[in-house]
Amino acid sequence: MTAPDTAPEDDAPASNNGPQRSGRRVRHWLAGAGVTALAAVLGITLAVRGGATPACAAPPTGNAVHKGTASYYDAGRSGGTCSFPSPPADRLYVALGASEYSGAAACGSYLDVSGPKGTVRVLVMDQCGGCSPGKIDLSDEAFAKIADRAQGIVPVTYRAVVNPPLDGGLTFRMKRGASQYWFAVQVGNHGNPLRSVEAKGPSGAFRKTTRQKDNYWTVEDGLGPGPYSVKVTDVYGRQATATIRMVAKQVQRSTATLAGPDSARTPSSSPSAQPTPTLTPSPTPAESGAPTATVEALAGAAPLHSPRC
């Protein structure tokens, strides 16, 4: 399995391309005193969320199987809203709707998608602006592996790939404009969705970074000129720490990995049988450096702090 190529950096969020991506916005108007009264009784807040991350949003994790539909599109040479340097070399990628993209929380993870003709493994690389919950947008190449393109939209099931095998270790890329006064780094080739990234300069304690919707992790007042220690934790509690430098437009590679069968585990974590996948229907819509690194496994296979919707 290959990570996105290290093509020239493009930090601007990509626009949605391709014949199947719909840019139309559907607006639903609720009217009537009865609806308003019911909303007040139930404590429901009605608001227009123009492109905002849904209140209950999370990327696919664990063993849950999701049921939905898939269409296809072509991102060209863009790395999508995840701001990757380019698509993966095999061009097997997917765009998720806002709730599953979850403000870039799904970026860099993998899904197994099954359709009428078979199953394909895809990298989450993009957000689909017109996709309702359960709707995903596959690359042309990925869609062709599960269905005939003439079908346009097909029923699918999909699930997260926990600890996918990857080529190489974690990668890091400083954002254009980052400096000792503004820290911004992208973590790549991690396989599982990330829960947190912490960083520090040569001295002092680790500081929490803030995940941005373009898949960069930032510290607004900076961390000094570097080098930096970066601690990465995925949703399953696996953790790796690497040392990187302030180098713009360059992918810095490490040997640390959060995924794959050879990942370290704590002595108290003994392997257990994988639970039988459960089918989770989707809601019905209303309409080149060489960092040093260490790895530590902190938890088992269950996602930490999974949202309850």
129, 160, 191 — which closes off a domain? 160
186 and 148 fall within a common domain:
no
pLDDT of amino acid 138: 98
Q: How far apart are CA 250 and CA 272, in angstroms?
A: 40
123 and 229 fall within a common domain:
no
19 preceded by a cis bond (ω within 30 of 0): no
Domain CATH number, residue 90: 2.40.40.10
124 and 181 fall within a common domain:
no
153 and 176 fall within a common domain:
no
| 41, part of any domain | no
Each residue's pLDDT tens digit, 85-144: 999 999 999 999 999 999 999 999 999 999 999 999 999 999 999 899 999 999 999 999
Residues 218, 223, 225, 229: is their CA dihedral positive or negative? Answer: negative
Q: How many domains would you assign to the chain? A: 2
Each residue's pLDDT tens digit, 4-31: 654 444 444 344 444 444 333 333 333 3
| 116, part of any domain | yes
182 and 236 fall within a common domain:
yes
258 and 235 fall within a common domain:
yes
| 249, part of any domain | yes
Each residue's pLDDT tens digit, 206-241: 999 999 999 999 999 999 999 999 999 999 999 999
Q: How far apart are CA 41 and CA 110, in angstroms?
A: 41
How many C-beta neighbours within 10 Å does residue 65 have? 16
Structural tokens at position 282: 């989707």
| Residue range of the domain that includes 130 | 56-160
Give this prediction's pTM.
Answer: 0.72
99, 129, 160 — which closes off a domain? 160
Tokens 């994988």, residue located? 274
Structural tokens at position 276: 């039988």
Strand pairing category for 135-139 and 65-73 = parallel
Environment class of residue 238 by beta-carbon count within 10 Å: exposed (0-12), middle (13-18) or buried (19+)?
A: buried
153 and 63 fall within a common domain:
yes
Q: Name residue 135's beta-bridge partners.
A: 69
| 309, part of any domain | no
160, 186, 216 — which closes off a domain? 160
Tokens 């939209």, residue located? 153
